Structure 1
């Protein structure tokens, strides 16, 4: 059986309930591993062929990213959500103010702190790395 949105939501919810002590995370990305995923799948009664699990894990990670409380430390997760929500943004010309506005608009972002420039740069460069729009964009070019 192929997963639908309700399966993804239920499994992500199970992970969040069982591992709520991990959220909000102090790491840039959602702390998700294969054991957590398999445990939640078993708990919800959903099973999938092994070869389909990596792609499914990405869907679960995206759903978790939209559910967990986020703060400025979660720049990797924030970049994933911004990439999905705002694919039309010109990332080369985007301002730090615009990044701040977009992040604060995320429904599960709840950090009132003022981000520093390094944090905002991390969000921008992580977001750029998620797109195919700039395939020739290298790290050396980013810093020149």
Structure 2
């Protein structure tokens, strides 16, 4: 980050001697855009490649992502948390396919998936959690729909 900021600040300082405000503003915007592009490239370069294991699944016409990471591609840091999240999601998926009317999860399982996602976010801050979150959200929404549709006793 320092490597990017120092040249940018130097250029901004030099721009202070320019008399044309419009040209100066355009140059500053160009520098800021360049810094943002450099940041995005650095983040992309350092991001895990687990997204390549994401597949789209469908249920009742609704599509949702299912990200699973092969054991040989698990990150060294956070492997246990990734496995825990994926195990929880597999339980939901199995319940989803087993019966189209009964509940997918218990309150304890809801808590367990939320805890697992938080644990993964803490262990792997650069890991793309969006597919996991979308899949969990799909299952929890389907569970809520089923519970609402279930006859009251």
- TM (normalized to structure 2)? 0.25
Structure with greater helix percent: 2
The structure with the larger Rg is 2
- TM (normalized to structure 1)? 0.26
Indicate the structure whose relative CO is greater, using CA pairs within 8 Å and at least 6 residues apart: 1
